[in-house]
Structure formats: structure tokens, C-alpha cells
Amino acid sequence: MSLPRTHRPLAMGQTAAVVSNHPAATQAGFDILRAGGSAADAAAAISLALGVAEPFMSGLGGDGFYHFYDAATGESTIFNGTGAAPLEIPEGTYAEGIPDLGPLAVSTPGALGGVAALQAAHGRLDWAAVVQPAIALARDGLPISHTYRRFTDQFMGSLTGNAYASASYLDGGALPALGHLLKQPQLAATLEEIATDGAETFYRGALAKRFVAAMAEAGVLVTEADMAAFRPQAQAPITATYRGYEIRQTPTNSMGFALLQQMKILEHFDLSDYGPRSPELIHLMVEAKKQAFLDREIYSGDPDFVDFDPEILSEAYTAEIAKRIRRDAAQEVPIPLPQGSGNTTYFAVVDDAGNAVSCIQSLYAPYGSGIVAGDTGILLNNRMTGWHLEEGHANRLVPGRRVRHTMNAPMMFRNGKPWAVLGTPGADDQVQVNMQVMVALVDFGLDPQSAVEAPRWSSSQPRQTSKYPHVAGSSLKLEEDFGPAVIEALGALGHPMTTCPPLEGPCSVGCIRVLENGLRMAGADPRRDGYALAY
């Protein structure tokens, strides 16, 4: 099968590989690896650097999932760094709904706790060493990119209502020019404090007191008690197989099980007669996604309060779902109302010992709540907009509980060894784009860069969106380089079609493949500032 020329080279090396959504963050992780650090050390450096270089996506004020594979034991652990809703929510606070922006959209941030727990458990270097790259970026500055300008221009309204946010990310209240040097001295000082005193100061130390005071001044409901109560959770992965490959995935409160169910549904179909861009293949994947999103609504919630049923990933159950799919027509599959039962960044590392990390972190929407907490330089999330308010919903807002997350950080294994580490930001598009990349890798043998750059689609169905008030219509969006014949054929099957230009579809995938000879090859997405390095 001939492949089109990719826009980015395939990064390859015999020792280690890194991919993230910003060159400066990828370089930070790469440098840590070259200095003798492990994949966990590199992950911590990348996580913190992304909060500086890509502030509209993630940072200290957000959440994350950090999936670590230990080559010495063969085991995977997910460090769940997702915070809870405030413990005290005055009655009537959300009587008119949950706002997209502002103080009432903020939940307890957990990302720092999660990545610090990962580094403490599996790092080789001192904690202070892995924080240094982020400190340098914040103190010395980094140039504004096209991606920074695109997101900032689109979400300028999120920043102009908060003086600290406007001062942090704009240039005199205006969109910064390409190449403008973005310096964040207040964030640099906060990171210095975290480097010296560890993540503990952020949750239960001197920094926590200043941070909470700044949030209170802005009207945020997160208190000192909320910060002190936070503890990252170490979780075992959930797993499923696809054509002989094991997929390990982030468990609830992640919605990652929807990806596993999609893959299990597809496994009941022979894809060998289809091309990677054929309308028949796209149709099957879209219909599998629609069905999986029904169970996503039932089982995605805080695992301390909502039980997950692994039977939904079984051969028998997914075979029954596969029988519902019509090959000759698209089906309308609205998300049911409960019956009583954004934006993000991704990165991956494989180190010299074969350890691997698959990591994803987020503020939720670009620029989160639009609030920077006083002089801490910390931009706060708007994760509260992920809650449901309906009685009986698995994800109904309850003080002190963790909201469900679209974030997921999978890995694929062959014969017990890492085969592919991949993921993407993109809210409800995440699991469907991850599915497309996995099919490209497994069923069509694409290399990571070709799989990442391949044209992609995004499906929406009624009441799908993870963001309050959880509405959506029916649509299937395709990048135009699928070609008019494919688009026309899908329309003829009944899919409500929309299109976008090439490389302007959803998500920003990072992918590392480990070959049988040990070679690491990495692909980065040109849809944002994705960048891969290997040595």
C-alpha cells in the first residue's frame, strides 16, 4: 500500500522517544532522558513544561491521568490526578445551570499531585531537577506560535474578564504577535517554590494558603479543606484485546472504556477488504462509536460511587452490539436521558529501559475558567462544566465527588511488551480518534507519523457533549482530503455530512511505536504544535 508523503518526518531512535504537543516540552523531556532520567522523570518535566508553553491547554490548575508501564515488572499503573467538586456548594448555586467561565466553573486541581506521585514512584532524578525546565521556560520566556495565536484569538473573551489572566497571556490586552516572547515570572516563582518544597506545598503547605486566598478573592468555591483533602489515586488499568493486541486503558472516572468497547465491536468485522480511507470502513467505525457512547453515559462516573461493569467489554456483549449495526445505512442513535441508574494535551515517552508513559492533562476548555489565581500565575480549570444536574445520572454533581473525564491514556501491547503508546486531546473526539489511529496501526500497518497525519473524521450524536448542558446534534465531519467520492458515499448512507480543510480536523495525536528490534519510532501531529524526538 502506497502512503502519501507526510508533513513531518518520522522520529526514530534505538534508545528512547518523546512526543508532546509543543517542541519546548518535548525538548524538556528529551533532555531529562539524556541526563539519565526515566520515563517518569521525563513525564514530570513535560507535564510542567506544557503548562508553561501551552497554557491554554493544561497546567497546575488542571487535572490529568498518568499511565506508567514498568518494564521490570510488566505492570501498568495509572496515577489519577483528577480533583473533586468543592466540598461546600451553597444551595442554589447552579439553579440556572453551570457557567462555562468564571469562579463557579472551578474544581479542585489534581494534575500536580498525579504527576508528582508518578515521579516519586518511578523517577531516577531529584524532583527539583525535573521542575527546572518549566521554571526556565516561564522565567526566560518562549516565542508565541501560530497555534498559541489561534487558540488565544478564538478564546480572547475568556481572558479579558480577569486582569491577571489578561496580563499573563496577552500583550497589553491584545493578541500577541507571532514570535512575541511570552514570559510568566509569577508562574516561575510558583514553580520555584514547588521545586523546593514539592507538590505537598501546593496542597497542604504555604503555597496552598496563598493559592486558596487568591481563589477566594476571585469567588472560587475551592477551599483550603478541598486542597488538603486531595490525594492522587493509583489505579490498575482496565484491559481488552483487539486482534491479538492487548490494550491497557485508564479506568473510570475516565471514559476510556468507550475506546475499548469500540475496538471490541470492530473486532467482530473483517476489515481486510476495506481500504484505510474507504467509506465502508468509516461507516463501520462511526456506527461502533455511536453504540459505545450509549454505555459511556451509563458507566462513566467517580469509581468510588459508580460501579463499572466489565461485561460491557466481553466478546458476547460486543457481538450483540455489532449485530445492531447496519452496513447499508447510518442509524440515529441519540444518547438517552438518565433512567435512574474541551480542551487538553497529550504526551508519551519510552525510555532506555523500556518503561513507557501515556499521559493526558487538561484545564477542560481552552484557557479553562479564564481566571488566574492572583499573583501565583496559576490558571484555573473549568472542569465543573463536565457535571450533569439531572437526577439519576451517573455523573450527577455531588460535592466532593470527581467528575467524569473524556481524558484517556491508552497503551497497546504485543506478547506482553509495549507495542504502541498513543493518545490525543479533544474532549468527545478523543476515543473516536484514538480508535482511528489504532485501526490504522493494526489493520493497515501504518507507521506512527502516517497514522497521525491520516485524514480523520468526528461523529456527533444527540445529547453527546461532555460539557454542560450536554447537547449536540447529529453530524459526521470529515477532513476534505478523504476526497469527494468518500464524502458522497457516506452521505448516501444517511450520514449528515460536514467537512473541514485538511489537517484542520479534531485532536492532536502523539504516537510512539516500539518495534520488535527495540527501535522506537514516534509521530507528532501537525494539527497543533506536536513535536517528536528520538535517539
The residues assigned a catalytic role are 344
Cell representation of residue 117: 506521585
Helix (H, G, I), strand (E, B) or coil at 284: helix
How far is residue 396 from each of residues 44, 257, 400, 403, 464, measured CA to CA in Å? 32, 19, 12, 8, 15
Q: How many CB atoms lie within 10 A of CB 277?
A: 17
d(CA 511, CA 377): 31
d(CA 277, CA 270): 15
Helix then strand count (H, E) for the chain reads 17, 19
Closest to 454 measured CA to CA, from 285, 206, 264:
285
- 498 CA to centre of own chain: 24
d(CA 124, CA 111): 20
d(CA 145, CA 132): 22
Q: Answer whether 18's CB lies under 8 Å from 103's CB.
A: no
- 30 CA to centre of own chain: 21
The amino acid at residue 15 is: T
Strands 475-479 and 497-500: parallel
Residues ≥6 apart with Cβ < 8 Å to 530: 8, 19, 20, 21, 452, 508, 509, 510, 524
**Cβ-count burial 379-403 (b if 16+ within 10 Å, e if not):** bbbbbbbbbbeeeebbbbbeebbbb
